[in-house]
Amino acid sequence: MTQYLAYSMAGMALFAIGLHALVIIPHILRKIIGINVMAGGVFLFLISVAARNFDEFPDPVPQAMLLTGVVVALSATAFAVALARRIYTVTGESELTEGDDTP
Three-state DSSP class for 27?
strand
CA–CA separation, 51 and 82 (whole Å): 36
Tens digits of residue pLDDT in 44-100:
998 888 776 666 777 778 788 888 999 999 999 999 999 999 988 988 888 877 665
**Answer CATH for 3-91 from 3.10.180.10, 3.30.70.260, 1.10.10.10, 1.10.287.3510:** 1.10.287.3510
Check residue 83 and give its pLDDT: 93
Residue ranges covered by each domain of the chain: 3-91
32 vs 1, more confident: 32
Going by C-beta distance under 8 Å and a sequence separation of 6 or more, which residues neighbour residue 98?
A: none
- Position 30 scores a pLDDT of 92
pTM: 0.81
